[in-house]
Amino acid sequence: MTLPFEHRPIAGAGLGLRSPHYADLMAGTGDVPWLEVLADNYAHGEGLPLWQLEGIRERYPVVFHGVGLSLGSADPLDSTYLDTILDLARRFEPAWYSEHLAWTSSGGRHHHELLPLPFMEETVQTLVDRV
């Protein structure tokens, strides 16, 4: 007997959700235990990708992963971005949310890169304060 996804544990190897997978997953033909969703791809607006994610979420458990919080930056956290991610998480109820320990913005500009963190005590304290 297959349990509804609400009762399946998040275990084993999941699949990173990409647009080529949508049709099979929406049809329920994908045999994967869970999906990793790049939250940043769904955080800006409505439309077809969010509608597709809703259909997929009805069939599969999801976890969210993010790249845009810029936890290692000296800039203040972007509260608008954080609110958007929180709204998305409330809507889709992922089992968990993970984020890259990197910096992706500085001086109010987003660089669209996962930039490495300096190996310094100050960096550790910045991450502790943000997390």
CA distances from 73 to 10, 43, 86, 108 (A): 31, 20, 20, 10
Higher pLDDT, 102 or 12: 102
pLDDT tens profile 18-74: 989 999 998 888 788 999 999 999 987 788 889 999 999 998 999 999 988 999 988
Radius of gyration of the chain (CA): 17
pTM of this prediction? 0.83
Cβ neighbours of residue 49 closer than 8 Å, sequence gap 6 or more: 19, 41, 42
